[in-house]
Structure 1
Amino acid sequence: MAQPSAQEQARQAPRQPSRPARRPGREARPTPPPKQHIGRYRRWYATLHPSLQLIGLQLWMPLFFIVGFCLCYVFAFHAPHPHDVPIGIVGGDRTLVSAVQKALPGEYLFSSYDSLARAKHDVVAGTIAVAYDPSANELFKASAHQFQVASLVPATLTAVLTGAGLAAPRVTELAPLPAYDEYGTVAMYVMLAWCIGGYMVAMFIGIMGGPLRHRTRMTVIVTGGLVISLITNTLAGPVVGAIHGHFVPLVLIAWGWIVAIGLAVNGLSYFVGRFIAAPAMICFVFLSMPSSGGAYPKWFMPEPFAWLNNVVVGSSMVDMIKHQLYGVGPGPERGLITMGCYAAAGLVLMFLGKKWWERRRIRAIVTGRTTMFQDANTANREFLGRERDAELQRNGLISTETGTLQVLRDDDWEDERAAGDVFTGGRDGLENEPLNPRRQP
């Protein structure tokens, strides 16, 4: 059977409706974005007083503080208990080891030292809590590194030795605390002041300085860090007297840490917006404080705070402060590495976050999407404008585009000069023409 030709197939095919030819220079209309869906709760919330809306949208912060303090501070400090506290034993006498493992299993971890000088060095460096020399029946501690350890551990080991029938050991102090830092808490609170100053500077930049360029943000962080460093070290040192000397090194250390923290928080702010206070306080206050070792060492802290001591900024800052002031703890290398890691992470987050924030902002503008906080701010601004106009009207004033003008009422526009005289003229000018007051709406 013969196949139909191509022309016959074209005639038999169903005709498609012809599209009107597009006029030259005329583009197709873009599809309008879908209308933002507003839920029932949000519609009800918008009916509240604008000031009440703003207050309600900020109540997450006190709730966050309550939860943070309970889960971090109360949980970490309500019952500090020793676990795997490192103790150095000089020589081969294992009498103390056997007695402690029998009386306090799992609380202390012993290591042997051949050299007494090496054991003393590790006590001052904070590698071990105390060192015990059985040949001289002597304990060595360093209060400047950790006051709680120097107070609790020798007392516990002395009780164990005397309970085993041995004589009470002599306790030798390798690094005493000065009188102006009697309990060794200065480093912890100075660290906390640096952390709070660093994250708050960057937090307000993130909340109110979204469109700012990287250069401007970093300038504010670096300048603000220097100012905060100078203020905190001046107050802690010359004013309060909690620190004697070391002003310039501590200013430089604080400046570096505040800038590193500020960069990290600034980078995070692109992703979380006005809620930047939550991750900033979690990282640099709620987790950093219990894990820093400033109040209790990591050997007394529950998990995860004991492990977090290796990564939080608080532990490195406390170690650097103690090493600078009292010559105890590890050297500055660990602190400098941690500082550099946080600063580098902040720079990476800034680079990636800026692009992500711009894309999200453009999408919100194009689609017309708003947040509850933006709606509450707009409503509050309009309400305050109406309140201002009403207050001006009650006081005989009216707001105009060129300023605030006084309104003349019908009953008080005339005065004794209405008739005019040769010096002042009439009320409306030098010419004594009839006055024509206008009634103000």
Structure 2
Amino acid sequence: MATTTNQTTTDPAGGPAKPEPGRYRRWYSTLHPSLQLIGLQLWLPLFFIVGFCLCYIAAFHAPHPHDVPVALVGSSSAAVDLQTSLDEARPGVIDVRAYGSADEAEQAVLAGHVAVAYDPADTTVYTASAHQYQVAALIPATITPVLEAQGVTPTVTDLAPLPANDEYGTVSMYLMLSWCIGGYMVAMFIGLMGAPLRHRTRVTVIGVGGGVISLVTNVLAGPVIGAVDGHFVPLFFIAWAWIIAIGLAVNGISYFVGRFVALPAMIVFVFLSMPSSGAAYPAWFMPQPFAWLNAVVVGSGITEMLKRVLYGVGPGYGRGVTMMLCYAALGIVLMIVGKRWWENRRIARIVSGRTTMFADAQNANREFLVAERDEVLARHGLVATDTGTINTIPEDERGDLGDAGERGDMFLGAPGGLENDELSTRPVRVVPSDRAGSAHPARGSGAAR
């Protein structure tokens, strides 16, 4: 018989050798089963705090514009002159690009290819706050002092102003976040509790769950809250498609990471996706690697599609649809490969006799709860059978259950109630009625004071 952590114990019946648990695992198994389960899940809040700090605080604590593209209507030489002046005032902040006409520059602003456009012919700075509110507010303020130093006082024209129900352009960000969380959580619970399910069942759950989440979020954001005006049908199908794509990706990942599926799912679809999406700040304001990730995270594709539907701005649907299909295809591939890998690994674990700490804790907790249930039933003169029915213990067989006063009645509990402890009460003074045999004192008799 082995005593070291890397030795195995041979099954007396001639079965496969079973690994001997290590010292830490043996110690951990001595804890209360419920405490074991709690301890094995505490990695999640720790991971959430670390991820929040490294992704959200690191990305948003000091957003700084860098290489922000600005369109200049004019020649290349004029663009070079303006670039030189801007570099002297704010080096590395603005990247001036020449456009041949005002229409081309305005379309570039609406599509999000440039932050703002400046037309020297009418000294106008064109913005699109519906595409990026922060850009529309900060970049004109950055270039205006340089233009004023050249004797020009520009005016600002907003080509796509935000509506009153979305004054700061945050609706698309929170809709995107709700769709991402909904998609990964549906698939996460499938990975946690539905490992043996067939592919068809898993995909059906993702599709139905995605439809419900899409319906709920769009009903709440639109008719209930009033943050979105119209566009219900296109938003419903866009949300549904994205939730399915995210769900398929997380579902595929779950075969490889098991109960730790929340870790990669939250990293990819929440912690990295939100700051890199461009919904809060554009990629031109974000540090690396968030600026680079803008091209690949789902939040970017969702946000651009939302802005196109709601306000008619952004690059269009092509990029978002392409990204959606890529994530869905990746999820399908991982699902097909992962199912076989998970089954092979499960067979190997069964044959080798290996178990996980979480499975051991679950089994121990199940046994503890069954024993606790039997103890509670026995105190009240009841017993659970193997078939699940609850029977009354005959009176002549209750001698082994302890003192009758401690056991209590099966319906009323102990003689003093459900608890044996005496209640702390004070005597109540009772005054007899003036009329003998009267159930209630007469009015005004002063029988009770």
**TM-score (norm. length: structure 2):** 0.83
Say whether 1:132 aligns with 2:132: no
Does the CA-based 8 Å contact 2:106-2:117 persist in structure 1?
yes
Q: Which amino acid aligns with 1:71?
A: L
Equivalent position to 1:321, from 306, 320, 324: 306
Say whether 1:113 aligns with 2:130: no
* Offset, 1:400: 1.9
Structure 2 CA distance, aligned partners of 1:228 and 1:275?
Answer: 23
Does the CA-based 8 Å contact 2:82-2:96 persist in structure 1?
no
Equivalent position to 2:270, from 278, 285, 295: 285
Q: 1:16-42: per-residue Cα shift (whole Å, max 9, x none)? A: xxxxxxxxxxxxxx9743321311000
Say whether 1:249 aligns with 2:249: no
* Offset, 1:165: 4.5
| Greater Cα shift, 54-63 or 34-43 | 34-43
Paired residue secondary structure (2:86): helix
Say whether 1:157 aligns with 2:143: yes
Q: Give 2:334's aligned residue.
A: 349
Equivalent position to 2:44, from 36, 55, 61: 61
Question: Are residues 365 and 412 of structure 1, via their aligned partners in 2, closer, same or farther at CA, if it must alter by over 3 Å?
Answer: closer
Q: Which amino acid aligns with 1:138?
A: T
Q: Which amino acid aligns with 2:20?
A: H
Q: Which amino acid aligns with 1:111?
A: R
Show the 5 A alignment for 1:422-441: none
Q: Which amino acid aligns with 2:98?
A: S
Structure 1 CA distance, aligned partners of 2:398 and 2:283?
Answer: 79
* Offset, 1:408: 4.4
Structure 1 unaligned runs (5+)?
1-29, 414-441
Q: Percent identity?
A: 66
Q: 1:39-79: per-residue Cα shift (whole Å, max 9, x none)? A: 10000000000000000000000010011001100000000
Q: Which amino acid aligns with 1:349?
A: L
Q: 1:182-220: per-residue Cα shift (whole Å, max 9, x none)? A: 000000100000000000000000111111110111111
Structure 2 CA distance, aligned partners of 1:282 and 1:411?
Answer: 59
* Offset, 1:137: 1.2
Equivalent position to 2:364, from 379, 388, 404: 379
* Offset, 1:367: 1.2
Q: Give 2:22's aligned residue.
A: 39
What value does the CA root-mean-square deviation take over the aligned residues?
Answer: 1.7
Show the 5 A alignment for 1:177-216: 177-216=162-201
* Offset, 1:366: 1.1
Equivalent position to 1:84, from 64, 67, 70: 67
Paired residue secondary structure (2:69): strand
Q: Give 1:99's aligned residue.
A: 85
* Offset, 1:399: 1.3
Paired residue secondary structure (1:295): coil
Q: Give 1:218's aligned residue.
A: 203
Structure 1 CA distance, aligned partners of 2:235 and 2:397?
Answer: 71
Q: Give 1:73's aligned residue.
A: 56
Structure 2 CA distance, aligned partners of 1:304 and 1:406?
Answer: 67
Q: Give 1:6's aligned residue.
A: none
* Offset, 1:411: 12
Paired residue secondary structure (1:58): coil
Does the CA-based 8 Å contact 2:17-2:353 persist in structure 1?
no
Structure 1 CA distance, aligned partners of 2:262 and 2:123?
Answer: 52
Q: 1:78-97: per-residue Cα shift (whole Å, max 9, x none)? A: 00000100000111334532
Equivalent position to 2:133, from 135, 147, 157: 147
Structure 2 CA distance, aligned partners of 1:160 and 1:125?
Answer: 26
Paired residue secondary structure (1:136): coil
Q: Give 1:21's aligned residue.
A: none
Structure 1 CA distance, aligned partners of 2:20 and 2:94?
Answer: 61
Show the 5 A alignment for 1:373-412: 373-402=358-387, 403-409=389-395
Structure 1 CA distance, aligned partners of 2:123 and 2:386?
Answer: 89
Equivalent position to 1:361, from 321, 346, 349: 346
Q: Which amino acid aligns with 2:112?
A: G
**TM-score (norm. length: structure 1):** 0.85
Q: Which amino acid aligns with 1:63?
A: L
Equivalent position to 1:310, from 288, 291, 295: 295
Paired residue secondary structure (2:54): helix
Q: Which amino acid aligns with 1:36?
A: P
* Offset, 1:99: 1.8
Structure 2 CA distance, aligned partners of 1:306 and 1:387?
Answer: 55
Question: Are residues 212 and 412 of structure 1, via their aligned partners in 2, closer, same or farther at CA, if it must alter by over 3 Å?
Answer: closer
Say whether 1:336 aligns with 2:306: no
* Offset, 1:177: 0.3
Structure 2 CA distance, aligned partners of 1:347 and 1:411?
Answer: 60
